[in-house]
Chain A
Amino acid sequence: MAKISEKKPNKNQARRQNIYMDYGAATPVDPRVLKSLSRFPSEFFGNTMSLHSFGRKAKAKLEESREILADLINAEPREIIFTGSATESNNLALKGIASANRQKGGHIIISPIEHSCVKESADWLEGQGFEISRLKVDEYGLVDPREVKKLIRKDTILVSVMHANNEIGTIEPIEEIGKICRNKGVYFHTDAAQSLGKIPIDVKKMNIDLLTGSSQKMYGPKGAACLFVRKGIKINPILHGGGQEFGLRPATVNVPAVYGFAKAGLFCGKEMRKESEKLRKLRDKLIKGIKAKISGAFLNGHPQKRLPNNINFRFEFIEGEALIAKLDIKGIAASTGSACSSEKLQPSHVLLAIGLAPQKAHGSLRLTLGRWTTDKEVNYVLEVLPEIIKELREISPFKK
Chain B
Amino acid sequence: MTPLLSVRKLSRVFSSNGGFLRKKRQFRAVSDVSFDVRRGDVLGVVGESGCGKSTLARLVLRLIEPSAGAVMFDGQDIASLPAGAIRPLRRHFQMVFQDPYSSIDPRLTVRDALLEPFQVQDIKMTKVAAKSKIDALLTEVSLPLSMADSYQHQLSGGQKQRVGIARALALSPALVVLDEPTASLDVSIQAQVIALLQELRDRLDLTYMFISHDLALVQYFCDRILVMYLGRIVEILPRGELPVHPYTKALMDSAFVPDPNQRRDIPRIYGEIPSGYDEPTGCAFVGRCPLAEARCSKSLPRLQSLSENHAVACHVQGPVNVPMEFQNAL
Tell me, yes or no, whether A binds B. Answer: no
